[in-house]
Amino acid sequence: MVAMFALREAPPEPVEELIERRYTPPPLPLSALAHGKATPLTKVEADIACALDRARLSHRVGITPDSWQAELLRSDAQQIMLNCARQVGKSSTTATLASHTAIYSPGEPILLLSPTLRQSQLLFQRVKWVLKRLGSDFAELEKDNALSARLSNGSEIYSLPGTATTVRGFSGVRLAVVDEAAFIDDGLMTAISPMLAVSGGRLILLSSPYGKRGFFYREWTEGGDAWQRFIVKASECPRIPAAYLAEERRKLGTFYAQEFECEFLDTVSALFSGKDIDRAFDNDLAPAFDLGLLQEAT
């Protein structure tokens, strides 16, 4: 997908807009501000600054977060939902967030889940990439295999397929990240919720939408204040060219709204639209025909 972006000529976006959307941390140490100049951070200062500000850790990795990414990284909400278009950077940001948790909140497991093990591993690879980029000043991988990793501070990260049975053995979980969450079985969410309630762990669901169905859709629309919600459309991502989006809109028709504008469409296979089904259960609506007449005729 990224390669496709590169092939098309995109009209440049105004630079001020791009800068406004990105987060740049102030120079540290703060005392340097008083003298009107920034000085390089010592290792300890960098460590403290990143501990206090997860967005700064992203900088350290070499990724300047977009403003929504910085807001997500800095959030302390217990439960977060990201409803995002493809390729806006949801997996890489949550990988940085999971790395921060592993480095600065050691001792309790972090679970990375997706509908399939292969997808979980993509996120897991990304977390390990972040940890390696940060280097041994921040994190040392003591054990590193295909399905799990342990840091020298005792933090453990597991990459799991999104089924209820795989998470049942875990307790005291600090953070669970569910990638492609709209595609996950409801059974997994039923298994995760009580586990996190006991440990006080955080839950982050990230996905592009996939129809008006399942846990992700229900919680997005009916979950109320239980969640902090982020919605990021493709047009808001400075790395996705407008010309590419125009072409995709032409090709995809209705599905463009799902893939790029974060809209939950009626499930493709549904015979009736979600709106029609809601109306069928609405007692305030007058019937479409007179039931009395129907009974007389039979």
Ligand X SMILES: Nc1ncnc2c1ncn2[C@@H]1O[C@H](COP(=O)(O)OP(=O)(O)OP(=O)(O)O)[C@@H](O)[C@H]1O
User: Given the rule CB under 6 A, which residues bind ligand X?
Assistant: 63-66, 69, 84, 86-92, 208, 239
Provide, rounded to whole angstroms, the least separation between the CB of residue 70 and ligand X.
Answer: 9
Residue nearest Mg ion, CB atom distance: 91
**Interaction of residue 120 with Mg ion, rule CB under 5 A:** no
- Nearer of residues 18 and 197 to ligand X, judged by Cβ: 18
Cβ proximity to ligand X: between 6 and 34 the closer is 6
- C-beta of 126: minimal distance to Mg ion in Å? 8
Distant-in-sequence, close-in-space partners of 184: CB < 8 Å, separation ≥ 6: 113, 114, 115, 162, 178, 214, 215, 216
User: Which stretches of the chain are DSSP H helices?
Assistant: 2-7, 15-21, 30-34, 43-52, 54-61, 67-74, 90-104, 117-134, 164-167, 186-199, 214-222, 242-252, 255-260, 274-280, 291-297
Using the minimum distance from each CB to ligand X, give the nearer residue, 90 or 174: 90
Among 83, 91, 114, 159, binds Mg ion (CB under 5 A): 91
Q: Decide: is 155 part of the binding site for Mg ion (CB under 5 A).
A: no
Does residue 237 contact residue 64 with C-beta atoms inside 8 Å? no
Q: Which is nearer to ligand X, 91 or 258 (CB)?
A: 91
Shortest Å distance, C-beta 176 to Mg ion:
16
Edge to edge, the sheet with strand 228-232 lists 141-144, 148-151, 156-161, 110-114, 175-179, 202-207, 79-84, 228-232
Could you say which of ligand X, Mg ion, none residue 89 binds, taking C-beta under 5 to 8 angstroms by partner kind?
A: ligand X
Residues in contact with Mg ion, counted by CB under 5 A, come to a total of 1
**159 contacts Mg ion (rule: CB under 5 A):** no
Residue 155 binding: pick among Mg ion, ligand X, none (C-beta 5-8 Å cut-off by kind): none
Please identify, using beta-carbon distances, which residue of 238 and 274 lies nearer to ligand X: 238
Least separation in angstroms between residue 115's CB and ligand X is 12
Cβ 295 to ligand X, closest distance in Å? Answer: 54
Binding partner at 99 among Mg ion, ligand X, none, C-beta below 5 to 8 Å by kind: none
Phi-psi group of 211: left, alpha or beta (phi > 0 → left; psi -120 to 50 → alpha; rest → beta): left
CB of 294 to Mg ion, least distance (A): 52
240/222 Cα distance (integer angstroms): 31
- Please, what is the minimum distance in Å from the beta carbon of residue 118 to ligand X? 13
Q: How far apart, in whole angstroms, are the C-alpha atoms of residue 102 and residue 79? A: 18
Counting every residue written for the chain, the total comes to 298
CA dihedral (176, 179, 182, 186) positive or negative: negative
Question: Which of 86, 229 has the CB closer to ligand X?
Answer: 86
Q: Between residues 88 and 184, which has the closer beta carbon with respect to ligand X?
A: 88
A 10 A CB-CB count for 59 gives: 18
CB-neighbour burial class of residue 250 (10 A; exposed 0-12, middle 13-18, buried 19+):
exposed
Binding footprint of Mg ion on the chain (CB under 5 A): 91
